[in-house]
Chain A
Amino acid sequence: MQTIIQGKVFKFGDNINSDVIIPGRYLIYIDPEHLSQHAFEVLGDDFPIKLRNYQILVAGRNFGCGSAREQASTAIRGLGINAVVATSFSRTFYRNAINDGLPIIECPDLHTAVEEGDDLRIDLDQALIFHRDQHYSFPRLPDSVRGILEMGGLAAYLKTQLSA
């Protein structure tokens, strides 16, 4: 897993729900390519294309709330997003992102500081986010859980466990 993630920020507000991220009618897909073509499309037809210009999502409270659909994380990954930083996450999205191999970071102070298009550098090893001339620390994932993310998600993790 990449431990340094950098790129441009797209900013969202609070309570971005599962149905906004990927509508139910697309849950017949599980691959990132198909899903990303419809990610956030309820916000505007241009969203799935526009978001490909960004590498990091920064959101407010309760990102991913609603359904337990794992494809919410897969759709975001399919857009080329390499990390989601939020003030807080819904528990289902948080869990699914780890299992899907998408780094998620809780950092309440970042949301007010960033603007769309800003450059961000995330160091997962140091547990620090660098923005302009500031840096923000964030809580590390518990060891038991970090291993899953570092292996690229639960399926990959499970494969090594079962063949051991």
Chain B
Amino acid sequence: MGMTIAQKILSAKAGLSTVGAGEIVEAYPDLVMSHTATWRSVSVMNKIGATRLFDSERLAIVLDHISPAKSEKNAADQQVSRAFARKYGIRKFFDIDAGIAHLVLMEAGHVAPGNLIVGTDSHCTIYGSLGALGTGIGYTEVASVWLTGKLWMKVPETFQIVLSGEFQPGVFSKDLMLHLIGTLGADGCNYKSVEFCGNSVGGLSISERMTMTNLAMEMGVKCAFFPPDAKTLEYLKDRLEDTSRYHPVYADTDAVYEKRLEVDLARLEPMIACPHEVQNTKPIGQIVGKRVDQLFLGSCANAKYEDLQIAAQILKGRHIHPSVRLIITPGSKNILMEAADSGVFKTLLEAGGLFTNPGCGACAGDGGTLTDGEVCLSTANRNFVGRMGSSKAEIYLCSPATLAASAIQGVVSDPREFFQVS
């Protein structure tokens, strides 16, 4: 019987010729990622008195969540991570200046199709944009993988999401994902692998695929995939240290799927996730005019170069409304550099954007804190209560285009008016 992408990757990493959904295997990840949480995994190693790593080449460490340090405790924790990386010669170590772990690692060529990657972050699902199986685990388990090289994994069932048609002008992959999360629910794909396929996938950029496999986590997925294609190879060809690592994995034609969903992209409209759950989505028409205080263009969901570029396209020659603040946190130093070179940085700055250093930033509550009653419109992937400060503040989620349009008006606005064909 044929296998899905998840089955193939897990069987390969467990040294088995075939696995069925529901089976528990012992798998060896190609990469184990930890971010600002690294000090916690180091403390576990110290607590149990272990000193030998399974394979230092399989570790990646990126200090992204609280960068630079905001307190003496943060600083001490970062020093623990640095010392650990030095002691074990961890080559894939990125300090506080690099940016968000997921984006940094993909940019640096450390994610290849067919890889199994685990890490201290639920949005490891984003690696599926390049055809790798990425999934989040806790810091103790990361330490365990450091030491033993392996972890138990249950092979998931797979849902197929078949995409056809093209987005209308002003509608983007973030809107598609908010539509799906709102329709299927926060546990609509709980424990599942999701494979995006259909006529539309070839036309989606790598940046859009990253947004999609990132947001898939908010439906409860274990992992999510785009089958590798010419765009994947193009993205990777100058990045992979070793192109012999390019081993794309495709589902067999007779693979068995638990469910199949079809979406016509042309029927979608801009969407908003309302407080305080990502699944609480509404079409933009129901929220336009809602007053906002702060806007955040950032996070691993939507702070890639293409996201900043879309915002700049709308904000060019315009200014944000005097009643709002626009915080822009590029996803990585490379993205910031590209924006600086291309003029996107200047456009956003001139429009009134406040740039912070690449990293997770306000998404995870680092900067841009909200007080009681404030409303933040954000391109991040979570709007849980209290996430950005006060539990009496409100967070709405949207696409970069919706954000830029709203920044100009000072209230939630439909971006489609900026995409009219004249």
Q: Is B49 an interface residue, CB under 8 A from the partner?
A: yes
Which residues of chain A (125-151) have a CB below 8 Å from chain B? 142, 144-145
**Chain A residues within an 8 Å CB radius of B49:** 159
Contact assessment for A145 and B122 in the assembled complex, using a CB-CB cutoff below 8 Å: no
A62 to B289, CA, bound (A): 33
New A-B pairs, 14, CB < 8 Å, besides A25-B365, A91-B190, A144-B24: A15-B279, A23-B365, A24-B387, A27-B37, A28-B71, A62-B186, A62-B220, A68-B138, A90-B187, A91-B135, A96-B140, A99-B141, A154-B140, A155-B48
Interface 0/1 of B186-222, CB less than 8 Å to A: 1100110000000000000000000000000000101
Known: A91-B222, A155-B140. A28 touches B74 (CB 8 A): yes
Known: A27-B37, A90-B187, A158-B147. A20 touches B24 (CB 8 A): no
Q: List residues of A whose CB falls within 8 A of some B CB.
A: 15, 17-20, 23-25, 27-28, 30, 42, 61-62, 65-70, 73, 88, 90-92, 95-96, 99-100, 142, 144-145, 153-155, 158-159, 161-162
Contact assessment for A15 and B186 in the assembled complex, using a CB-CB cutoff below 8 Å: yes
Contact assessment for B138 and A100 in the assembled complex, using a CB-CB cutoff below 8 Å: yes
Contact assessment for A69 and B50 in the assembled complex, using a CB-CB cutoff below 8 Å: no
Q: A162 contacts which of B74, B147, B365 (Cβ < 8 Å)?
A: B147
Least Cβ–Cβ distance between B119 and chain A, in angstroms: 8
A91 to B141, CA, bound (A): 14
Q: Which of B2-10, B39-47, B263-271, B399-407 contacts A (4 or more CB under 8 A)?
A: B39-47
Q: B152 contacts which of A62, A96, A144 (Cβ < 8 Å)?
A: A144
**Chain A residues within an 8 Å CB radius of B138:** 68-70, 73, 92, 95-96, 99-100
Contact assessment for A162 and B24 in the assembled complex, using a CB-CB cutoff below 8 Å: no
Q: Which of B84-92, B231-239, B378-386 contacts A (4 or more CB under 8 A)?
A: B378-386
Known: A19-B385, A66-B122, A66-B382. A159 touches B48 (CB 8 A): yes
**Chain B residues within an 8 Å CB radius of A159:** 48-49
